[in-house]
């Protein structure tokens, strides 16, 4: 098959610069080092393929802010790596201004957070921080590792007919990457020789019936149909176990994190650094502080042939992207090209992967035409179907500090549409109310919260759309929360909050009464006050819900799905030599926390790509 260059660059550049200055070339180019791209690049290199891993940020693997998991709040706030995406939750400007932590640019280098900005302040929106760093957002998250529901995997089987996506098979990828640090070896649900350490904390406190949090836990057990006399055992259950019908099991668990037993973060950063340092000298090259501006294509000239991805164009330099708080207006780095002999794999995440595809000519034709971007393939689903978990919290102040530890509960609310659990909650002495510059608010030693993640949200009406053809610009991101079936999702959140609030009343002296901060301000006892109606709570969650698990903007789908961007092997439809491997590939939000599921997806992608490579001789 013959190709001519869609963007004339390679032949002319080689001739002009001489052979020694021709664009560098690798078997594979992976764009982005987070949970999708980082492990994939390592696996490809370890299979013997020359692989270039490109990361827009720096390597902070030795920085305690990132290396010590307990510093995750500081990591997410750190301008060293932070990219600020200012998102919307709806198309209603008035509703957007009702978000209590909406953020403004004061013009003097500082932010104002709130609803009464100083004169002249520019409205930015709702902060959605991402990490531009080796290891991606797995370097600034809280490290929670949990599994999606089996049907989240099986959905891909149903959409594509590819049985390799079955939940049973996907467990194999988790076991391959896991290095379990908390259970004796031999457990059939776990792996012990992988690159990703998993650990959990001591839950022995739950055996002490005198603690206020144990009392709350016992009440929660009664309210959710568990045996309250077995709290100590329930608190130490393995949340990553896979018994039959696990997705319908209402239970307490011991939360697992991707960290080692000493509290050191385990992430793709560790895997990349270990691969680079390995004495076997795997053919992995890491290029930091490099912004990919587009994918390069050769235009097929043979009948029935497709455009082929042949490399990427990059802009070199730190802080080139305007989401970076350190970006200096007008700064542009040198632009060059890098070639891929086999494939380009985009792993920029749910915001940047669709942006890169669109800048490269792949996306909705009308949107690309608006910015005079030459069309390579009209794919209307690129940037669409943006989804996320709804998150909210019950936040209060006791009369004295709570005593105990972190409790984790997965449960089902009364109106949940199926037998599946729909709320993942964790309760303890912390404050978490979403994201804004400088979060969280420290309410002092008497603070107590139960944070909720609503699983299987029923609306995926969000979008990531271009604001210009400039690759340094940040796209427009609108989640359109509660756009579809919103009343049902809000009802489930309210029911979850009501169950938690009722359990709080079991804390006893000296903690009671709680002064609830939200969603029902004031002292709420066993009988809720007039400011705590279900309608008032639903309105609170509608306006104040937050999120940080964006997915599905380059979704896998079947041949008959007009919004499908990828096939079941991560290949971008309508072109060759191009795949997307990150959370944007999920058709739905995978469970409550996508970090570990995305690393599983990455491990599967490596297997698929290597199998294809063995069948294709270059």
Distances (CA, A) of 136 to 153, 547, 598: 23, 17, 12
Distance between CA atoms of residues 471 and 355, nearest Å? 8
Distance between CA atoms of residues 361 and 296, nearest Å? 9
DSSP class of 614: H
According to the annotation, is 31 in a ligand binding site?
A: no
According to the annotation, is 186 in a ligand binding site?
A: no
- Nearest 5 degrees, angle CA 76-CA 475-CA 554? 90
Interstrand relation of 178-180 and 111-113 (parallel, antiparallel or unpaired): unpaired
DSSP class of 115: S
Distance between CA atoms of residues 194 and 182, nearest Å? 14
According to the annotation, is 133 in a ligand binding site?
A: yes
Starting at the earlier edge strand, list the strands of the sheet with 407-411.
251-253, 407-411, 423-428, 447-454, 390-397, 515-518, 522-523
Distance between CA atoms of residues 543 and 10, nearest Å? 51
Distances (CA, A) of 551 to 349, 350, 351, 382, 389: 8, 5, 9, 12, 9
Nearest to 338 by CA among 21, 618, 617: 21
Handedness of CA 579, 583, 588, 594 (dihedral sign): positive
Helices (H) and strands (E) counted in the chain, each on its own, are 15, 26
- For residues 581, 584, 587, 591, the Cα torsion angle rounded to the nearest 10 degrees is 100
The DSSP secondary structure of 402-445, one letter per residue, reads --S--EEEEE--TT-SSSS--EEEEEES-------TTPPP---T
Nearest to 337 by CA among 39, 11, 1: 11
Nearest to 465 by CA among 384, 411, 397: 384
Distance between CA atoms of residues 315 and 293, nearest Å? 7
According to the annotation, is 141 in a ligand binding site?
A: yes
According to the annotation, is 144 in a ligand binding site?
A: yes
Q: Known binding site for FAD: residues?
A: 133, 141-144, 292
Binding-site positions: 133, 141-144, 292
């Amino acid at each position: 098959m013959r190709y001519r260059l869609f963007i004339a660059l390679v032949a002319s550049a080689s001739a002009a610069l001489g052979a020694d200055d021709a664009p560098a070339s690798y078997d594979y180019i992976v764009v982005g080092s987070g949970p999708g791209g980082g492990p994939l690049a390592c696996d490809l290199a370890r299979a013997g393929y020359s692989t270039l891993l490109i990361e827009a940020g720096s390597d902070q693997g030795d920085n305690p802010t990132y290396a010590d998991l307990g510093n995750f709040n500081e990591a997410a706030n750190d301008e060293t790596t932070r990219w600020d995406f200012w998102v919307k939750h709806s198309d209603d400007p008035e509703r957007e201004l009702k978000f209590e932590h909406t953020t403004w640019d004061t013009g003097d280098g500082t932010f104002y957070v709130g609803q009464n900005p100083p004169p002249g302040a520019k409205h930015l929106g709702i902060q959605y921080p991402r990490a531009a760093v080796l290891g991606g957002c797995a370097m600034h998250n809280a490290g929670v590792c949990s599994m999606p529901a089996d049907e989240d995997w099986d959905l891909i089987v149903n959409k594509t007919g590819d049985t390799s996506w079955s939940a049973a098979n996907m467990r194999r990828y988790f076991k391959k990457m896991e290095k379990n640090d908390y259970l004796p070896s031999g457990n059939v649900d776990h792996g012990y020789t992988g690159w990703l350490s998993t650990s959990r904390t001591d839950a022995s406190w739950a055996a002490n019936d005198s603690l206020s949090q144990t009392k709350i836990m016992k009440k929660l057990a009664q309210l959710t149909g568990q045996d309250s006399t077995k709290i100590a055992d329930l608190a130490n259950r393995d949340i990553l176990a896979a018994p039959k019908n696990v997705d319908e099991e209402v239970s307490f668990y011991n939360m697992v994190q991707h960290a080692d037993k000493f509290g050191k973060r385990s992430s793709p950063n560790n895997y990349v650094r270990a691969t680079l340092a390995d004495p076997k000298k795997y053919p992995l090259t890491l290029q930091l502080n490099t912004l990919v501006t587009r994918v390069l294509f050769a235009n097929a000239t043979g009948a029935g042939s497709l455009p082929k991805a042949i490399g990427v164009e990059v802009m070199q330099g730190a802080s080139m992207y305007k989401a970076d708080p350190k970006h200096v207006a007008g700064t542009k780095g040198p632009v060059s090209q890098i070639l891929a002999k086999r494939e380009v794999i985009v792993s920029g995440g749910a915001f940047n992967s669709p942006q890169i595809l669109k800048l490269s000519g792949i996306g909705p034709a009308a949107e690309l035409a608006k910015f005079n971007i030459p069309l390579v393939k009209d794919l209307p689903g690129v940037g669409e179907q943006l989804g996320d978990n709804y998150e909210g919290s019950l936040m209060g102040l006791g009369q004295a500090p709570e005593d105990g530890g972190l409790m984790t509960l997965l449960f089902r609310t009364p109106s949940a549409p199926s037998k599946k659990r729909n709320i993942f909650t964790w309760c303890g002495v912390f404050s978490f109310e979403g994201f804004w510059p400088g979060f969280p608010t420290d309410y002092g030693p008497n603070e107590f919260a139960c944070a909720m993640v609503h699983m299987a949200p029923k609306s995926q009406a969000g979008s990531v759309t271009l604001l210009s053809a400039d690759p340094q610009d940040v796209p427009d991101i609108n989640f359109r929360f509660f756009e579809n079936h919103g009343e049902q999702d809000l009802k489930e959140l309210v029911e979850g909050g009501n169950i938690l609030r009722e359990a709080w009343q079991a804390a006893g002296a000296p903690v009671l009464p709680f002064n609830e901060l939200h969603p029902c301000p004031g002292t709420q006892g066993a009988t809720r006050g007039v400011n705590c109606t279900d309608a008032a709570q639903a309105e609170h969650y509608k306006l104040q819900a937050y999120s940080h698990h964006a997915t599905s903007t380059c979704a896998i789908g079947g041949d008959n799905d007009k919004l499908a961007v990828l096939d079941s092997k991560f290949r971008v439809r309508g072109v060759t030599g191009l795949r997307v491997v990150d959370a944007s590939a999920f058709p739905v939000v995978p469970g409550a926390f996508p970090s570990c599921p995305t690393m599983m997806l990455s491990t599967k992608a490596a297997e698929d790509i290597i199998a294809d490579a063995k069948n294709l001789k270059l």
